[in-house]
Amino acid sequence: MKDEKQVANTNFIRKIVETDLHENPDFPKIMTRFPPEPNGYLHIGHAKSICLNFGLAEEFKGLCNLRFDDTNPEKENTEYVESIKNDVRWLGFDWGERLYFASDYFTDLYNFAVELIKKDKAYVDGLSGEEIQEYRGTLTQPGKESPWRNRATQESLDLFVGMKNGDFEEGKYVLRAKIDMGSPNINMRDPVLYRIRQAHHHRTADKWKIYPMYDYAHCLSDAIEHITHSVCTLEFEDHRPLYDWIIDNLDTPSRPHQYEFSRLNLDYSVISKRKLIALVNEGFVNGWDDPRMPTISGLRRRGYTPSSIRKFCDVIGVTKNDTRIDPVVLETVLRDELGDTAQRAMAVINPLKVVIENYPDSTEDLDAMNHPQKQEMGTRKIPFSKTIYIEHDDFMEDAPRKFFRLSLGREVRLKYAYLITCTDVIKNEQGEVTELRCSYDPESRGGNAPDGRKVKGTIHWVAESAEVHAEMRLYDRMFKTAFPDKEDNWRDDFNQESAVIMKNCLIEPSLKQVEKGKSIQFERLGYFCADSIDHSSESPVFNRIVTLRDTWAKVSKEK
């Protein structure tokens, strides 16, 4: 993990802000904004942008707005708006009174467009969408001017009013900036500023028949809100000249600047909203908050905490390099946090019955630590009885010498309980092991050998008298390959085994009382979170958040 100083060094935008403030004593209060389009749920990439924008404002005593970029009525809705507000709040950020919508500015944006037309900086074009495309040229060939480019200003003004009033059908006209069809930057070849849409908007209803394009609405919304540093992702770098052109050619309330950083990509996952929507709609996952999803709501349901996501964003830094992040980074951050905070308990996912033949027909309560390093987290009682269950995997009939778990004739420690030795193996007709017979050393209460003999292996267990059935949802990576984010057949890489549902798992009785959303370390199994929706004391449901890396490394070494 990086320390604070290193974190600061890996955020170049932070340095820009610092320099701006340092070099110009009159620099206004830092204003940033997080500008989601409400066309899907937020994902971990958005978290990076949220932490950056809100983080800069916080650090430099400025403010950060939450602004919905709602200029595409067909794809946007209020369910998305609400989920986004909820997720930003959950991550620990506060926009105060400053909740804005680009649609709040539709009238201003319209007036600015009129100003551009009057300055002969914009015109109404009558070319069709395909023609505009065709006239635009390519990366190697300049574009061609539209025959309508030099239409009289008044004519453009009249047509623009007609567009606004709904006099024309979709596609009949667009408003375009008059810049340069020969520009090497395609974004500067008379970009479209407004198009006609007969669509119902989630906030302005049917009031508007024309909708501004993103590039036009975004910079002006920034200027209206007095944003000082408009931070966005690298794909907008080539749009910056247009951003500046619009601001420079209008009399705007302020002069914002755009800065770009690289998007976050997570290996074994897809991050684009378009693909996430497909996974939801096509039933690959159970909704936006499926614990495998890289959405904020999915990570939350999985058991990720706001602090772990914020820490992750700090660790990965902000650069202009194309970043692909291994999910191990995210998992490690959470594992470190939960290692510190999560209470320990025992559960058995795949139970194998063990009868301790010399143990009396009674039960006793044993003391267990809630956290091995933290006395202050206290202890709890766990019942022990003649019949217990251990993990199937923790027994091996023909075990190699280095298998430090249970095997016929070998001794193992039951965590917090006793030393037991396996004396007999019972199998079904198929030859599968169904039950073990063991003996225990009554002098070894607590797990220590009275004569100091060495017993290397320690395994977890749940007593029959205590058995409480639970469902465990074992999640794995959503995709089989590290880079599934290609254009075609990306669906083929979906990991069909990414959710394994185990019924009839056993848990300690204390776990019945665990409230929804709480995270626990199941000894030797990993960190689990009581599902925030399906868990109840009658039918407990736990999501595996992450495995215990150390345990798994050790287990595979033993094998």
* Spatial CA neighbour of 34 closest among 80, 105, 84, 74: 84
- Write out the binding residues for Mg ion, residues 27-66 only, by CB under 5 A: 37
Piece of the chain touching ligand ATP by CB under 6 A; list 18-26, 42-50, 446-454, 533-541: 42-50
Structure tokens at 360: 């009396």
- Pairing of the two strands 541-546 and 468-475: parallel
Please give the residue whose beta carbon sits closest to Mg ion in the complex: 37
Q: Which is nearer to ligand ATP, 35 or 303 (CB)?
A: 35
The Cβ-side half-sphere exposure at 487, using a 13 Å CA radius, reads 0
Residues near ligand ATP (CB under 6 A), total: 15
Catalytic, out of 37, 59, 115, 237:
37
Query: From CA 397, how far away is CA 400, in angstroms rounded?
Result: 9
Report the candidate in 261, 322, 310 with the shortest Cα–Cα distance to residue 16: 261
CA torsion sign, 339 to 341 to 342 to 345? Answer: positive
DSSP 394: G
Name the residue whose CB lies closest to ligand ATP. 45
Based on the residue annotation, tell me whether 144 is a catalytic residue of this protein.
no
The torsion of the CA quartet 268, 274, 276, 281, rounded to 10 degrees, works out to: -140
- By CB under 6 A, what part of segment 423-482 binds ligand ATP? none
Is there binding between residue 234 and Mg ion (CB under 5 A)? no
- Interface positions, 44-83, toward ligand ATP (CB under 6 A): 45-46, 48-49, 69
- Is residue 192 close enough to count as binding ligand ATP by CB under 6 A? no
How many Å apart are CA 109 and CA 354, to the nearest integer?
74
* One residue of 264, 334, 468, 530 binding ligand ATP per CB under 6 A: 264
Within 199-256, where are the H helices?
Answer: 214-224, 240-248
Bridge partners (DSSP) listed for residue 384: 364
**Element housing 129 (H / E):** helix 129-135
Under 8 Å between Cβ of 313 and 47: yes
Which tokens is 559 given?
A: 């094998």
CB of residue 333 to Mg ion, shortest distance in Å? 27
Any catalytic annotation for residue 263? yes
Instruction: CB nearer to ligand ATP: give 69 or 508.
Output: 69
Identity of the residue, 240 or 413, whose beta carbon is nearer to ligand ATP in the bound complex: 240
Q: Is 437 a catalytic residue?
A: no
Closest CA to 254 of 296, 284, 225, 289: 225
Catalytic residue, chosen from 273, 302, 310, 524, is 273
Decide whether 297 or 407 has the Cβ nearer to ligand ATP: 297
Contact between 240 and ligand ATP by CB under 6 A: the answer reads: no
Q: Which stretch binds ligand ATP (CB under 6 A): 194-202, 265-273, 431-439, 526-534?
A: 265-273
Residue from 21, 114, 271, 355 in contact with ligand ATP (CB under 6 A): 271
| Listed ranges 41-49, 219-227, 431-439, 493-501: which one lies at the site for ligand ATP (CB under 6 A) | 41-49
- Can you tell me the distance from the alpha carbon of 113 to that of 102, in angstroms, rounded to the nearest whole number? 15
Question: Any idea which residues carry the catalytic annotation?
Answer: 37, 263, 273
Question: Would you tell me which residues interact with ligand ATP (CB under 6 A)?
Answer: 35-37, 45-46, 48-49, 69, 232-233, 263-264, 271-273
Site residues for Mg ion per CB under 5 A: 37
